[in-house]
Chains A and B, each alone.
Chain A
Amino acid sequence: MIERFIDLWDKFGGELLKASLETLDMMSTALFMALLIGLTLGFVLFLSGSSGIRPSPLLYGILSGLINLIRSVPFILLIIVMIPFNRLLIGTGFGVDASKVPLSIIGIALYARFTEQSLLDVDKSIYETSYTLGASLWQYFRHFLLTEARSGLILSFTTTAISLLSYSTVMGVIGGGGLGYLAMSQGYQNFHYDLMWLIIIGLVVLVQLIQVSGNLLAKRFDRR
């Protein structure tokens, strides 16, 4: 058992390391974008929605429709139809960097929707509370909405991360590499089933780790 593992490592160690770094690279960019832009768009959705403090059916309709669109196109097709967009944005349609684009887009769409839902769960009266305590609009976001919704936001970010990890495994389509691609190409298609299983087990463990740390973090920030 151990010997087989060492054997595997001798043969594929380098490739495994490279693939892991590629996955890490794609994931960290996509997660960063999801957090930055997804969270912001989630607030915009919440504020412009029918129960928000700046209702705007037009803005909400466009944003919400776009998010639904992104989420409803099968991901593998989304990757392909976005190739021209990748070119436009980063100058190339293929490779690890190009893969970050569709992965970020889906991450943003997912997390924007999750953020909106977490904010909708906060007690409706909180805006009046924040106004009467003398808060500005920014302080309403920062000290009221974010404070009350933070556990939900952490948990849904965890869910987003796990979904993105799963999405990242098909990035081989446009030469994105990563662990999923290695498992498919070397492991499955070249009959190195050991390698395939090793990667599957690795990913399972990784998902568990992400979920457990997300839960712990959410709990730490929950004073309710």
Chain B
Amino acid sequence: MVRLHHVTKSFKLDEKDTVVIDRISLEINESEIFGLVGGTGSGKSTILRLMTGFVEPDEGEIFLMGQKLDHESKYHLVKDTSMIFQGFHLLSNLNVIENVLLPGRLRSIKKAHNLTRARELLSFVGLEAFENARIRTLSGGQKQRVAIARSLMTQPRVIFCDEPTSALDEEMRGEILKLLRDINQTFGTTIVLVSHDIAVIKTLCHRVAVIEDGHIHQIFRLQPREMAPVSYEEAFYLD
């Protein structure tokens, strides 16, 4: 579904070219939940940006859904993917439903159809009562659920998640992870998940790559566990 072949990327840091991603090769399968872990600055976000085409590699090739990413293809390939960010990245000047409708408006999807789908997805993420709420008034977990509903509008085949739960507390983290797993199981969506939180990775991922200084240090196969505890009571009860 996503394939990196000898991908290298440097950035200018303090006037010097610094290799951030160093000849990485990687293949992520369809319907897989694939994790990327690693320390701060190890290059995880950059790998996601390379995969969406937002950042272009200096060397190597990247294939999305079997097609090579380049200057032109990236604009239509990216339309079959979506991305979820740590900071939610909702438009603050649009309300909840307007945010969810946005991807459909960008693709000139019929208004009525777009609205029906947006409402379905808002209820899928449990926010049907918040249609007209302003973004500012939502909690972090609610904002991330709006972002997830928005990301599902276009029926993406791959969802990239960059630290989707890092800005959330324990309980909300559980909700979001459960939602991501539901999406993977219901729609067979491939998910690429960056997190520095080992527990998140262990809960959700089928495989995980450990990134160190722009290299893949190792890839582990995991047995996704039961869902992370959703409340403190459950967490302490399990201990």
A147-B91, A224-B92 known; A125-B85 Cβ under 8 A? yes
Instruction: Give Cα A174 to B162, complex, Å.
Output: 61
A131 within 8 A of B: yes
The residues of B that contact A135 with a CB separation of less than 8 Å are 106
Q: Is the CB of B93 within 8 A of A151?
A: yes
* B74 nearest in chain A by CB position: A131
Q: Is the CB of B106 within 8 A of A223?
A: no
Q: How many whole Å from A150's CB to the nearest CB in chain B?
A: 7
Q: Is the CB of A125 within 8 A of B92?
A: no
Interface residues contributed by chain B, number (CB under 8 Å): 29
* A132 nearest in chain B by CB position: B83
Q: Is the CB of A132 within 8 A of B78?
A: yes
B181 within 8 A of A: no
B54 within 8 A of A: yes
* A139 nearest in chain B by CB position: B106
The residues of B that contact A150 with a CB separation of less than 8 Å are 93
Q: Is the CB of B106 within 8 A of A133?
A: yes
Instruction: Give Cα A141 to B93, complex, Å.
Output: 14
Q: Is the CB of B94 within 8 A of A147?
A: yes
A-B contact count (CB 8 A): 66
Q: Is the CB of A143 within 8 A of B105?
A: yes
B79 within 8 A of A: yes
* A131 nearest in chain B by CB position: B54
Q: Is the CB of A128 within 8 A of B93?
A: no
Q: Is the CB of A148 within 8 A of B91?
A: yes
A136 within 8 A of B: yes
Name A120-158 residues within 8 Å CB distance of B: 123, 125-126, 128-129, 131-136, 139, 143-144, 147-148, 150-151
Q: Is the CB of A131 within 8 A of B106?
A: no
B81 within 8 A of A: yes
**A125 partner, pick from B52, B87, B135, B150, beta carbons under 8 A:** B87
Q: Is the CB of B93 within 8 A of A224?
A: yes
The residues of A that contact B1 with a CB separation of less than 8 Å are none
Q: How many whole Å from A123's CB to the nearest CB in chain B?
A: 8
**B52 partner, pick from A132, A143, A151, beta carbons under 8 A:** A132
In the complex, per-residue mask of B120-158: 1 if CB is within 8 Å of any chain A CB, else 0: 000000000000001110000000000000100010000
In the complex, per-residue mask of A21-47: 1 if CB is within 8 Å of any chain B CB, else 0: 000000000000000000000000000
6 tightest A-B contacts by CB?
A134-B79, A132-B83, A129-B89, A224-B92, A223-B93, A133-B103
Query: Which B positions have Cβ atoms within 8 angstroms of A?
Result: 49, 52-54, 75, 78-79, 81-83, 85, 87, 89, 91-95, 102-103, 105-107, 134-136, 150, 154, 160
- 12 additional A-B pairs beyond A139-B106, A224-B134, beta carbons within 8 Å, are A123-B89, A126-B91, A128-B49, A128-B89, A131-B53, A132-B52, A132-B54, A133-B150, A134-B75, A134-B154, A147-B93, A223-B92
A-B residue pairs in contact (CB < 8 Å), sample of 30:
A126-B89, A126-B91, A128-B49, A128-B83, A128-B89, A129-B89, A129-B91, A132-B78, A132-B83, A132-B160, A133-B103, A133-B106, A133-B150, A134-B78, A134-B103, A134-B106, A134-B107, A136-B106, A144-B91, A147-B94, A148-B91, A150-B93, A222-B93, A223-B92, A223-B95, A223-B135, A224-B92, A224-B93, A224-B134, A224-B135
